[in-house]
Amino acid sequence: MFAFVTFKNQEERDKAMKAVHGMQWKSKVLSVRLAKPKADPILKKRKQEEEAEGGQPGAKRAAGSQEGEEDEEEEPLNIQIANAVTPLWNVPYEEQLKRKEKEVEGILQKLTREIGNNNKAMLPWLFVQKEKYNKMCCPLEAIQPSPVQTEYRNKCEFVIGVGADGEDKTVGFRLGKYKGGSCAVVSPSETTHVSSEAKRVVQGFQQFIRTTPYAVYSPETYEGHWRQLTVRTSRIKQTMAIVFFNPQKLQEEEIEELKRNLHQYFTEGEGKESAITSLYFVRMGQRTSAGTEDLPCEHVTGEEWIHEELLGLKFRISPHSFFQTNTPAAEVLYSAVGEWAQLDQDSTVLDVCCGTGTIGISLAKRVKKVIGIELCQEAVEDAKANAEANGLTNVEFHCGKAEDVFPTVLNAVVSPNVTAIVDPPRAGLHSKVILAIRRAEHLKRLIYVACNAKAAMNNFIDLCRAVSNRVRGAPFRPVRAMAVDLFPQTMHCETILLLERVDYSSDTQTTET
């Protein structure tokens, strides 16, 4: 029953307070009062440090804490950054896999309880399943390891800021989050998951920005220019760099001059050693947060795309397009999806949130038709080009929000053998997509690829819940699950869940597995 409103300055705020206070809105009288915002975490931390140093700003904290407790900052920076970005770096790989498998097991056990709470008709079947599969609703197959455990990331986003070592204009990873009071950046040179190609680009780019008069962007004051560097690499030795820059009040001519200098540096200057094959420049305006996908990319030099090979197929990748960040492990993931889908020449595959078309294209030769749906226009263009480059004519792609496009596409499919494969972003699928899947009774099999199974829990529950006024169409139930490790040295992994439509006409419903 309340809302917070933020203003650019005090004058605007006071004007709005006068206008809104006592206003009638939907039969209610609005009252306004000043909010008590939390202290800015950076300022708060700075103040605490100054007080601890007896009010001498800038003085270094005395080595070791007064009460002899371990001071976190005593650890070398390479250890601190490893802990921040690859928290399992010092855990043996077999142990990492066990932990991830255990976590997925816990998620499936929770899902089993939730299905029971939301669909009483499934309780007899769940009872049998839980006895067989350690309180889980379906078998969890052995976790699939990543074929490579180091230097596996083909896409990295580096921030630009003041280094934890005090060096200005440092390109790397943040030691902590802004809300934790830290903006310090550490070079990725000793991190295990970043490729040597990406490290080389970071080094070259850092050298370049240190020769320019432009300051790094400050999330505290919103001043400065250099914001972020994204590096994408491929196994066929192509490298794309995307530079994010806040123009502030610079003249267009100054920005064009900067782009010319970038071009010159990476094609003829010292940056040539970075071996960049595609360079882009992005203007990232005031207070623009994480959503960089919508910002236009200005092509500076090299090719417009980089190319990758996966499962013997060729793919082109644009700056904003989604492509799994660990290519060898993605091959393991997509091979499993292909096997579980039980496809034949009469099958139609719906590839939802398809990115550059990787899953659908990898299955196209086995099926009658592949239909892909993707929000990012660039990725759809890539997907169409990828289908053509691989000589496929039975593939089509639609651009738009899955919740808008999916119901229409699904209703147009007449094939009796339809399988949907969904690989949504971290937050999962929009509930409209789930409801459309439930309503489409001819869709019998669904493979859900989740990069965060916890976040996808509501989707899983809605697919399995009892029929109601809101949820039409027979429910699904989980048949098998497996984790695939795409992110060694971290706690993340992908989870594949195969769900099949419950057939109420079958008398064996309670005993089937």
Cα 156 to Cα 111, 197, 469, 489: the distances in Å are: 33, 11, 45, 15
Strands 140-144 and 155-161 turn out to be unpaired
List CB contacts of 125: < 8 A, sequence separation 6 or more.
477, 509, 510, 511, 512
Q: Is 206 annotated as a binding residue?
A: no
Query: Could you tell me the CA-to-CA distances from 381 to 250, 321, 324, 326 in Å, in that order?
Result: 33, 10, 17, 22
Q: Give the separation between CA 375 and CA 387, rounded to whole angstroms.
A: 18
Task: Count CA within 13 A, CB hemisphere, residue 352.
Answer: 29
Please give the Cα distance from 205 to 138 (Å, whole number): 49
The helix/strand/coil state of 257 is helix
Give CA–CA dist 402/395, Å, rounded: 17
Nearest to 363 by CA among 377, 382, 342, 378: 342
Contact 322, 376 (CB under 8 A): yes
374 is annotated as contributing to ligand binding: yes
DSSP state letters, 143-182: EEPPS--SS-BSEEEEEEE-BTTS-SSEEEEESS-GGGT-
For residue 378, the 8-state DSSP code is H
Residues 268, 266: Cα–Cα separation, whole Å = 6
Q: Is 423 flagged in the annotation as binding?
A: yes
Reading the block at residue 307, the tokens are: 């190319």
In what side-by-side order are the strands of the sheet with 226-233? 185-186, 170-174, 155-161, 226-233, 239-245, 278-283, 297-302
Contact 80, 86 (CB under 8 A): no
Which residues belong to the active site? 451
Amino acid at 495: T
The two structure tokens encoding residue 473: 């169409």
Q: How many CB atoms lie within 10 A of CB 106?
A: 14
Extract the annotated binding site for S-adenosyl-L-methionine.
324, 374, 423
Q: Which residues line the annotated binding site?
A: 324, 374, 423
